[in-house]
Chains A and B, each alone.
Chain A
Amino acid sequence: MQLFYISPILFPLLGLLINATLGKRLGERAIGAVASLMVIAAFIVSAMVFSQVGALPEGTSAIPVDLGIPWIQVGTLTVPFGLQLDALSATMMLIVTGVGALIHIYSIGYMHGDPRFQRFFVYLNLFIASMLVLVMSNNFLLMFVGWELVGLCSYLLIGFWFNNIKNAEAGRKAFVVNRIGDVGFILAIMAIFVAFGTLTFTDVFSKVATFGVNAPIIVGITLLLFVGATGKSAQIPLFVWLPDAMAGPTPVSALIHAATMVTAGIYMMTRAHVLFAAAPDTQTVVAVVGALTAFVAGSVALTQNDIKKVLAYSTISQLGFMVAAAGLGAYVASVFHLATHAFFKALLFLAAGSVIHGMEHLSHSKHGAHGDHKEPIDPQDMRNMGGLRTKMPVTFIVFLIGSLALAGIFPLAGFWSKDEIIVAALSKNILVFVLLGITAVFTAFYVGRQLVMVFFGKPRTEDAAHAAESSPLMTIPLIILAVLSAIGGALNLPGVGSLGNWLAPVLGEAEAEAFQIGVAGFFTVLSIAALAGAWALYRNAYAKADDKDPLQKLGPLYTFIKRAWFIDAIYKDVVVKLFYAACSFLARVFDIGGIDGVVNGAGTLVQKASGGLRKAQNGFVRSYGLMMLVGVVVIVAWFVYSAGAR
């Protein structure tokens, strides 16, 4: 039975092993099939676990799974190989394996012809297994294992086309920036062990009450956990890795950098909600940082021209919504938005991938090559697009659905989940409410701008004019995700609250925020207005690819926003440069001149002082060493002799 519950992790690992060892002989189709089938198998088991969790008797919230052998056991520290299968982890398992399976299938089409096709699916399977370790484990340290392994997959996949050093750099940046957050996480884990004597979730949470509200240790632990979340879930001040992460193949952006991995921070905070609830001070920090991130990233998305960069900043912004919701204690809303966002953002990225594919159609049919070589024009730059509505009708429809869901247009999925967060903010923290409210308007605007620039008007380049629709292997997953994006709101409709009820055994019976028709209506009107504004502003803005963006009229403010508030630039030009200088100084001046200088100086001194006495400076080093040895033997002999003589 244990094996059954672990099998969602084991299936993708098996796929990984098969493809890593036999992949060369299998060929593309078989590799893709093995990898995808393993994830589908994991999805089926996840669905069975999900239904088992639903059938648990009153009073039990989780299926206990423990391999019986601890992973680490030293003194009082015991870290079990154990799983926590409850409503929360089962929900995450479904999202990870469900969206994961669709993206695997899509990737068979997208990565077709790539020389490292096999390696891609090995990484993708490793990612699914790692992500499942993250969401299924029953203790903080095992969660951290998954946490770091998904980071590794992210590193490998961002730098997948590593011949281009820029991709490799982006991967390394992601890993190192994430590690900054990870140090916070690991310190939190150590502090938890010292404070609670255990790392297992249920044991830790059952003892939280003994500490009282805002106990310094709990505030400290939760702040450190949040530092971890800012890394993985790309919040201020560590969000800078995510826009660069778009260097990876687009399915990776969809799976890892939009739908699943980047939500790990939200999952972790939701999982540890008992700790956070005991630290309202931390909660405030979380809510404000989340809202600020949503706002800053949302503004940057207004100005980007790269189709994936718009979506990347949008993802950071939407993650900010979820983090803010977690900070407000609205965990159901947070998980709800996590789920709907997984649908519509995965959809948008995959549809963007389809667009990029379409844009590359011309140059591919010319060169007949696929890979990461330089294209004559940038197929991701929206200024080069236009009019793709008629060239790629399926992609257009699904992109439209995803965009409107993101913009929070009734009755699509995003409308419901975003509304819940905003309503929670309204009643709890007015600053957060204002920031999120403005961001919601930004969202509708950049969505509108993107739709117009990509799909409307006339094609602005040859490549756009010759774009062609992608294969069914790619469009079918898109259609499925589009359906989910459209009806995903049904997960937690106001008044029905099925997700809230479902998660209640884990998160407790939260008082659901009442649906406020006024708030919902207000933001719907604003969003539609913003969409209309984008339409008006951009409909005729680009006749040629190199026309000016209408927002450039904002002058320096436009530049400031477009450069992402210069946050990354400050890191790059100040922090990193200082670090390099310090490294260089310590290595080339201090270590060689200082530390080693003293050592060599002492050596020379001894040599000179003794040089007169014995003719050792004959450059014959071995005699010098031999003299030392002889000297030691003499000392030993003398000691032994004198001891014996006493």
Chain B
Amino acid sequence: MLSLIIFLPLIGAILIALMPRAATGLMRWAAIGFSLVTLVVSLVLLFGFNNAQAGYQFVESYKWIEQYGIGYKLGVDGVSIWMLMLTTAIFPIAIFASQGAIHDRQKEYYALVLLMEMATLGVFLSLDMFLFYVFWEFALVPMYFIIGVWGGERRIYASMKFFIYTMAGSVLMLLAIMYLGINGGTFDLVALIAKNGLWTASAPLFLAFAIAFVIKVPLFPFHSWLPDAHTEAPTPGSVILAAVLLKMGAYGLIRFNLALFPEASKQFAPMMMILAVIGILYGAIVAFAQTDAKKLVAYSSVSHMGYIVLGIFSLNQLGIQGALLQMVNHGISTGGLFLIVGFLYERRHTRDLSKFGGIWGKMPLYGTLALLFTLSSVGLPALNGFVGEFVILQGAYVSNSLMTAFAALGMILSAAYLLTFYQKIFLGESRDVANDKLVDVNWREVLAVAPLLIFVFVIGLYSLPFFNAMSASVTSLLSASGMAMR
């Protein structure tokens, strides 16, 4: 079933590649269709997912390159289940929202997006380190082209930076994977975890993985590729980048760093927490000074992802479960904000915050939708962001109350920069005559953000099923590594 989920998008991509170039409508619907079927299959899987089981479920294991202990092994557990669901849910939305943003080379575009979906699903579902690495690196390629071909003015610079920066980070991880595979005699993650304590060099190995992952997250000070990539990427690219790609880094930290190197994790936790807190505050402060709407949202990601790293390296149940939920939440609210900014960009062809003003009066429904996503990102209680943020902070408080006090200041800053963002676009008087002709969102745009908005409320008011599904796996991860249970 997991293979089906991973390779359905690939089949879609191949079919689209075979279609005649002029059949753009067919391609779009094929892409939407295949991503929706993938979503449906993953929903069926979710329905059969056993919350009480701590280990991997739906495991598929085949021998691949036997002599090196490399296998084709997939599985899903409480750590990856919501990453899987987030990915299969975001892609149809991003593809659906592509119509306004992508006008040429649609064949290549839709094929690449589906390849992207395949790669990210592979990352979240692989239980073999080698297989994981293949998907991890492969995920770079479609995004490189999406930014480089369909991006904005500085797309070449941004895509190159994205590609080289993140690949440079992965090289060390590759070495570490090789080291583990050769010394452990297998690339099977579960088997390798069982051998932990075997690695004398656990600190360098930890760092080799961590560098690859924190660049992807991105954690301060490794974030500078992100604002460029986000700003230049077309809207659906930004959505996928923020909602799914960044999560690969955070997921990797939990799946590999914590599980494989528990002692080194404890050793480096204070450092990671400090960087996370700096990231929370720094991202927010820098976001405050931005004049480009997309850049502002990009820096808000740096801040928000800081909370996630903070939660992970609290090394307790609250922190990690909060981080996992917040990964979903960030995908929803930041993905939503990029869509929202995209709607305006498609109308005005600018993202300069000084060119707007008073848009709420001109586009009442749009203004309301934007407000809800903004508030979700602010972390307003009763909406999704608060639940994750609070549980993370509570977990961090258990580990280190002083650092948490600094992290909590991010609550003030996020209100400041996000409400300023909202005010500059939507409130006051219009600062440009071009705003007079704006028309409100159409049904297609509403339909694109509606599913996200539903989950803004669902998670905010009823987080129980989300936490319940991850609880057993996180508990066993912590107890296996001898970490605090709280």
**Which residues of A are interface residues toward B (Cβ below 8 A)?**
69-77, 141, 144-145, 148-149, 152, 155, 159, 162-165, 168-169, 172, 175-176, 179-180, 182-183, 186-187, 190-191, 193-194, 580, 582-584, 586-588, 591, 595-596, 599-600, 603, 621-622, 624-625, 628-629, 632, 635-636, 639-640, 643-644, 646
Other-chain contact of A163, B133, B182, B361 (Cβ < 8 Å) = B361
In the complex, the answer to whether A186 meets B390 with C-beta atoms within 8 Å is yes
Give 19 new A-B contacts, CB below 8 A, not counting A72-B467, A183-B408.
A74-B321, A75-B321, A77-B318, A148-B380, A148-B381, A148-B386, A168-B423, A168-B427, A176-B415, A183-B412, A186-B393, A187-B408, A595-B223, A599-B224, A621-B156, A625-B164, A628-B163, A640-B65, A644-B68
In the complex, the answer to whether A180 meets B412 with C-beta atoms within 8 Å is yes
Other-chain contact of B461, A71, A194, A584, A636 (Cβ < 8 Å) = A71
| Contact (A149, B382) CB under 8 Å given A75-B318, A190-B394, A640-B65 | yes
Other-chain contact of B391, A74, A148, A603 (Cβ < 8 Å) = A74
Min distance, Cβ B375 to any Cβ of chain A, angstroms:
7
In the complex, the answer to whether A629 meets B415 with C-beta atoms within 8 Å is no
In B144-189, which residues have CB < 8 Å from any A CB?
A: 144, 148, 156, 159-161, 163-165, 167, 170-171, 174, 178, 181-182
| Contact (A72, B382) CB under 8 Å given A193-B394, A624-B160, A628-B163 | no
In the complex, the answer to whether B398 meets A194 with C-beta atoms within 8 Å is yes
Looking at B194-202, B248-256, B285-293, B343-351, the stretch in contact with chain A turns out to be B285-293
A625–B133 CA distance with the chains assembled, in angstroms? 18
B137 within 8 A of A: yes
Can you list 12 contacts pairing A with B, beta carbon distance less than 8 Å?
Answer: A71-B464, A72-B467, A76-B486, A149-B380, A149-B382, A172-B420, A179-B416, A194-B397, A621-B160, A624-B164, A639-B178, A644-B68
In the complex, the answer to whether A640 meets B68 with C-beta atoms within 8 Å is yes
In the complex, the answer to whether B428 meets A165 with C-beta atoms within 8 Å is yes
Min distance, Cβ B359 to any Cβ of chain A, angstroms:
10
Closest to B228 in A: A596
Min distance, Cβ B378 to any Cβ of chain A, angstroms:
9
In the complex, the answer to whether A72 meets B380 with C-beta atoms within 8 Å is no
B267 within 8 A of A: no
A433–B59 CA distance with the chains assembled, in angstroms? 73
Other-chain contact of A587, B286, B412, B427, B429 (Cβ < 8 Å) = B286
Min distance, Cβ B298 to any Cβ of chain A, angstroms:
11
Min distance, Cβ A372 to any Cβ of chain B, angstroms:
11
A148–B390 CA distance with the chains assembled, in angstroms? 13
Other-chain contact of A643, B68, B170, B461 (Cβ < 8 Å) = B68
| Contact (A172, B141) CB under 8 Å given A587-B290, A588-B289, A640-B68 | no
How many inter-chain contacts with C-beta < 8 Å in the A-B complex? 179
In the complex, the answer to whether B464 meets A186 with C-beta atoms within 8 Å is no
Closest to B162 in A: A625
Min distance, Cβ B416 to any Cβ of chain A, angstroms:
5
**Which residues of B are interface residues toward A (Cβ below 8 A)?**
65, 67-68, 133, 137, 141, 144, 148, 156, 159-161, 163-165, 167, 170-171, 174, 178, 181-182, 221, 223-225, 282, 285-286, 288-290, 316-318, 321-322, 357-358, 360-361, 375, 380-382, 386-387, 390-391, 393-394, 397-398, 401, 404-405, 408-409, 411-412, 415-416, 419-420, 423, 426-429, 461-464, 467-468, 471, 485-486
| Contact (A583, B285) CB under 8 Å given A179-B412, A632-B171 | yes
A169–B428 CA distance with the chains assembled, in angstroms? 9
B387 — which chain A residues lie within 8 A by C-beta? Answer: 72
Min distance, Cβ B410 to any Cβ of chain A, angstroms:
9
Q: Which 7 A-B pairs have the closest CB atoms?
A: A587-B289, A165-B428, A168-B427, A75-B317, A145-B381, A596-B224, A583-B289
A640 — which chain B residues lie within 8 A by C-beta? Answer: 65, 68
Min distance, Cβ B468 to any Cβ of chain A, angstroms:
8
In the complex, the answer to whether B408 meets A186 with C-beta atoms within 8 Å is yes
Closest to A183 in B: B408
Other-chain contact of A162, B65, B141, B428 (Cβ < 8 Å) = B428
A165 — which chain B residues lie within 8 A by C-beta? Answer: 357, 423, 427-429
In the complex, the answer to whether A74 meets B411 with C-beta atoms within 8 Å is no
B68 — which chain A residues lie within 8 A by C-beta? Answer: 640, 643-644
A194–B380 CA distance with the chains assembled, in angstroms? 23
In the complex, the answer to whether A187 meets B405 with C-beta atoms within 8 Å is yes
| Contact (A628, B165) CB under 8 Å given A176-B412, A583-B289, A643-B178 | no
Closest to B468 in A: A73
A144–B405 CA distance with the chains assembled, in angstroms? 17
A141–B381 CA distance with the chains assembled, in angstroms? 9
In the complex, the answer to whether A643 meets B181 with C-beta atoms within 8 Å is yes
A163 — which chain B residues lie within 8 A by C-beta? Answer: 358, 361, 427-429
A180–B164 CA distance with the chains assembled, in angstroms? 41
In the complex, the answer to whether A172 meets B423 with C-beta atoms within 8 Å is yes
In the complex, the answer to whether B397 meets A191 with C-beta atoms within 8 Å is yes
Closest to B412 in A: A179
A628 — which chain B residues lie within 8 A by C-beta? Answer: 163-164, 167
Min distance, Cβ B312 to any Cβ of chain A, angstroms:
14
In the complex, the answer to whether A591 meets B286 with C-beta atoms within 8 Å is yes
Min distance, Cβ A514 to any Cβ of chain B, angstroms:
43
B412 — which chain A residues lie within 8 A by C-beta? Answer: 176, 179-180, 183
A187–B409 CA distance with the chains assembled, in angstroms? 10
B318 — which chain A residues lie within 8 A by C-beta? Answer: 74-75, 77
In the complex, the answer to whether B221 meets A595 with C-beta atoms within 8 Å is yes
A596–B397 CA distance with the chains assembled, in angstroms? 32
In the complex, the answer to whether B381 meets A149 with C-beta atoms within 8 Å is yes
A530–B137 CA distance with the chains assembled, in angstroms? 79
A159 — which chain B residues lie within 8 A by C-beta? Answer: 427
Other-chain contact of A75, B182, B390, B464, B486 (Cβ < 8 Å) = B486
Min distance, Cβ B459 to any Cβ of chain A, angstroms:
11
Closest to B225 in A: A599
A236–B401 CA distance with the chains assembled, in angstroms? 26
In the complex, the answer to whether A73 meets B464 with C-beta atoms within 8 Å is yes
A629–B160 CA distance with the chains assembled, in angstroms? 12
B428 — which chain A residues lie within 8 A by C-beta? Answer: 162-165, 168
Closest to B423 in A: A168
Min distance, Cβ A211 to any Cβ of chain B, angstroms:
17
A69 — which chain B residues lie within 8 A by C-beta? Answer: 462, 464
A182–B357 CA distance with the chains assembled, in angstroms? 29
B289 — which chain A residues lie within 8 A by C-beta? Answer: 580, 583-584, 586-588
A74 — which chain B residues lie within 8 A by C-beta? Answer: 317-318, 321-322, 391, 467, 471
Min distance, Cβ A542 to any Cβ of chain B, angstroms:
35
A389–B162 CA distance with the chains assembled, in angstroms? 72
B171 — which chain A residues lie within 8 A by C-beta? Answer: 632, 635
A43–B448 CA distance with the chains assembled, in angstroms? 40
Other-chain contact of B416, A176, A599, A621, A643 (Cβ < 8 Å) = A176
Min distance, Cβ A503 to any Cβ of chain B, angstroms:
28
A643–B133 CA distance with the chains assembled, in angstroms? 17
Other-chain contact of B380, A70, A152, A176, A624 (Cβ < 8 Å) = A152
A148 — which chain B residues lie within 8 A by C-beta? Answer: 380-381, 386
A632 — which chain B residues lie within 8 A by C-beta? Answer: 137, 167, 170-171, 174
A586 — which chain B residues lie within 8 A by C-beta? Answer: 282, 285-286, 289
Min distance, Cβ B398 to any Cβ of chain A, angstroms:
6
A646 — which chain B residues lie within 8 A by C-beta? Answer: 182
Min distance, Cβ B435 to any Cβ of chain A, angstroms:
13
Min distance, Cβ A232 to any Cβ of chain B, angstroms:
14
A71 — which chain B residues lie within 8 A by C-beta? Answer: 461-464
A155–B322 CA distance with the chains assembled, in angstroms? 28
| Contact (A599, B165) CB under 8 Å given A179-B415, A587-B290, A588-B289 | yes
In the complex, the answer to whether B321 meets A162 with C-beta atoms within 8 Å is no
Min distance, Cβ A386 to any Cβ of chain B, angstroms:
34
A182 — which chain B residues lie within 8 A by C-beta? Answer: 411
A639–B176 CA distance with the chains assembled, in angstroms? 11
A141–B463 CA distance with the chains assembled, in angstroms? 14
Closest to B358 in A: A163
A600–B164 CA distance with the chains assembled, in angstroms? 11
In the complex, the answer to whether B163 meets A625 with C-beta atoms within 8 Å is yes
Min distance, Cβ A571 to any Cβ of chain B, angstroms:
13
